[in-house]
């Protein structure tokens, strides 16, 4: 398993939408994490702390299916991270070296 992922088993009341629950959970927890670990604000800057998506299933799903999803989610997250890293080019430099 990857150390940068969280797996949880929760029971959500039927009157609460999964998307509402996940939005609250991810939003509130990121605020709490940044409050307790202020140095992470410098690491993440304006980027989001949590990955864009989430996975929801019933407890009857087998482990192989869960592992497959996690592997695919990691690849997706890495692709999104690469897109969010901007490279700047100095138009006045004859070298035109890229800076991150």
Q: Which residue in 48, 49, 40 sits closest to 6, CA to CA?
A: 49
Q: Is 69 a catalytic residue?
A: yes
> What tokens were used for 100?
């991150």
Measured at the CA of 92, the angle between CA 91 and CA 95, to 5 degrees, comes to 85
Measured at the CA of 25, the angle between CA 79 and CA 19, to 5 degrees, comes to 75
What are phi and psi for residue 67, nearest 5 degrees? -60, -45
Among candidate residues 24, 44, 55, 69, the one labeled active-site is 69
Strand, coil or helix: 88 = strand
Q: What are the residue numbers of the active site?
A: 69
């Amino acid at each position: 398993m990857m150390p940068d992922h969280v797996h949880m088993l929760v029971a959500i009341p039927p009157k609460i939408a999964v998307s509402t629950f996940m939005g609250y959970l991810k939003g509130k927890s990121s605020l709490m994490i940044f409050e307790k670990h202020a140095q992470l604000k410098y690491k993440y800057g304006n980027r989001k702390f949590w990955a864009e998506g989430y996975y929801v299933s019933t407890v009857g799903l087998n482990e192989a299916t869960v592992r497959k999803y996690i592997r695919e989610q990691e690849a997706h997250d890495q692709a999104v991270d690469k897109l969010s890293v901007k490279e700047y080019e100095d138009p006045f430099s004859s070298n035109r070296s890229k800076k991150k």
